[in-house]
Amino acid sequence: MAKFRTYYDNLNVSRNAPASVIRAAYKALCQKYHPDKYIGGHEEALRIMKSINNAYAVLSDSGKRAEHDQWIDQQERVQATDDVQRMAAIITQSYVAPPVTAAKPPAYLAMINKHLENVRSIGNKAWLSSTQLLKKTNGAFWCKCVACIVLVTAILYVVDLKTTTAPVNQDVADMLKKAKKLVKQGQVVKALPLYLQLAEQGNVDAQFYTGMIYAMGQGVAEDGKQAAEWFGKAAEQGHREAQTKLGFMYATGKGVAQNFSSAIDWFYKAAGRGDPTAQYNLGLIYAQGQGVAKDMSLAFSWYNKAAVQGDARAQYKLGDMYANGAGIEKNNKQAAVWYRKAAKQGVAEAVAALKQLDSSQ
């Protein structure tokens, strides 16, 4: 499920935290991010303190807190519905990632080599026999015999190839099509065995979709470990989206031990091949200094790559960086441009930020 930020997140407290805990958390954060003390810079401290003060103003008021809780419940219900639709859209799309590493040769290639070897063997034997007999008999006759032998063998090879490889490839395509249709119909439980069968045979798309089903936990029990395992198999074969998903699981410690180094490694592989989600995640990691030294210039660079591809979250982050002069020279005009792009895609924070920016000018 996608993560949305709440006022509880801003104060680093749980949703059921009592008033005393909220008050203590607020005081601790105020001390940590005081503009005169915070090592991250005066402007950054002011931005963070603004977020902290807004959160405390709501959570310290019982009425406003109740309204905020209702909003969270609504968002969770909306996302639960969106997740089912998103998984169906991902699984039913006709995306095929080009492999970046050498894949295991299909079984039919071994069969082809075997036939070619047979052809060469028969041809060699025929040639040796013919050269010996040519001395005693008519050369033209024996040349025709050799040619016939080679031709018949080649015909048998082509016929065998068509009858053994075409049905196999067609069966895989039919199974994938059937599984995607079942997911689209909401019958994930029936689709999973089909994906598993193909995934175990090394089909990269089936491996990715199997990971998606276990990760989403829709129709079957959520299983982060299984999801990470199948994402890993697909990622190793060069599946771009699987690489991004695996990076996210390492970053969050879901299904695997949290490891930012591994997360960054997989994000870089997918981001280098143009995946906007991986690019956004790298921007987030550098902006927050998770597993790496905080670097707002690199954060800006990765956010920008994702934003120009239409990633709404990156567009909002880019707008924030321009508005606050973080990692880039402050530019309200550019901030407004990116806020508008994100707002058009439904990012509520971008809508609010745009209104605030307009009112301050």
Question: What's the CA gap between 138 and 222, in Å, rounded?
Answer: 77
Q: Which two tokens stand for residue 237?
A: 């074969």
**Contact 235/242 with Cβ under 8 angstroms?**
yes
Q: Which two tokens stand for residue 246?
A: 């695996």
Q: Please give the residue range of the domain that contains residue 59.
A: 7-77
**Contact 216/83 with Cβ under 8 angstroms?**
yes
Per-residue confidence (pLDDT) for residue 94, from 0 to 100: 42
**Contact 244/277 with Cβ under 8 angstroms?**
yes
Structurally, how many domains does the chain consist of? 1
CATH code, domain with 40: 1.10.287.110
* Averages of pLDDT over each 10 residues, the chain, 361 residues: 72 86 88 81 83 91 89 75 57 44 49 58 55 50 52 51 52 87 87 90 93 85 92 95 95 91 93 95 92 89 95 95 91 93 93 86 66
Q: Does the residue 114 lie in any domain?
A: no
Per-residue confidence (pLDDT) for residue 21, from 0 to 100: 84
Q: Does the residue 43 lie in any domain?
A: yes
What DSSP state is assigned to residue 361?
Answer: -
Per-residue confidence (pLDDT) for residue 103, from 0 to 100: 45
Q: Does the residue 291 lie in any domain?
A: no
* pTM, full prediction: 0.55
Helix axes 312-324, 42-59, angle to 10 degrees: 120
Per-residue confidence (pLDDT) for residue 247, from 0 to 100: 94
**Contact 245/231 with Cβ under 8 angstroms?**
yes
Strand, coil or helix: 72: helix
Question: What's the CA gap between 210 and 48, in Å, rounded?
Answer: 40
Question: What's the CA gap between 282 and 225, in Å, rounded?
Answer: 23
Question: What's the CA gap between 233 and 249, in Å, rounded?
Answer: 14
In order, the DSSP letters of 147-191 are HHHHHHHHHHHHHHHHHHHHHHHHHHHHHHHHHHHHHHTT-HHHH
Q: Does the residue 174 lie in any domain?
A: no
Q: Does the residue 51 lie in any domain?
A: yes
Question: What's the CA gap between 21 and 18, in Å, rounded?
Answer: 5
Q: Does the residue 94 lie in any domain?
A: no
CA atoms within 13 A on the CB side of 331: 11
Q: Does the residue 54 lie in any domain?
A: yes
Say how many C-beta atoms besides its own lie within 10 A of residue 114's C-beta.
Answer: 12
Strand, coil or helix: 291: coil
**Burial (0-12, 13-18, 19+ Cβ within 10 Å), 19:** exposed
Question: What's the CA gap between 101 and 105, in Å, rounded?
Answer: 12
Question: What's the CA gap between 181 and 106, in Å, rounded?
Answer: 26
